[in-house]
Amino acid sequence: MANTASLENAIFRIKKSYNKFLLGFGTGAGVILCIYFFTFSEIINRFPPIVWRMQALSAIGLVLVLVYIKRIAFWLTTLRYSGSKLEKQLLNQLLLNDMDQPEKLLAERLETTIRQ
pTM assigned to the model = 0.83
Taking the chain, what is the end-to-end CA distance rounded to the nearest angstrom?
Answer: 6
Q: Does 4 score more than 80 pLDDT?
A: no
- Give me the helices (H) in the chain, please: 4-46, 49-67, 69-80, 85-93, 103-110
The predicted-structure confidence for 27-83, as pLDDT tens digits, reads as follows 999 999 999 999 988 888 999 989 989 999 999 999 999 999 999 999 999 999 988
Q: Does 11 score more than 60 pLDDT?
A: yes
Q: Does 26 score more than 90 pLDDT?
A: yes
Q: For residue 12, is it within any domain?
A: yes
Cβ 69 vs Cβ 25: under 8 Å? yes
Tally of structural domains, the chain: 1
What is the rounded average pLDDT of the residues 72-95? 89
Residue ranges making up the domain that contains 16: 4-110
Q: For residue 115, is it within any domain?
A: no
Give 111's pLDDT tier (boundaries 50, 70, 90): confident
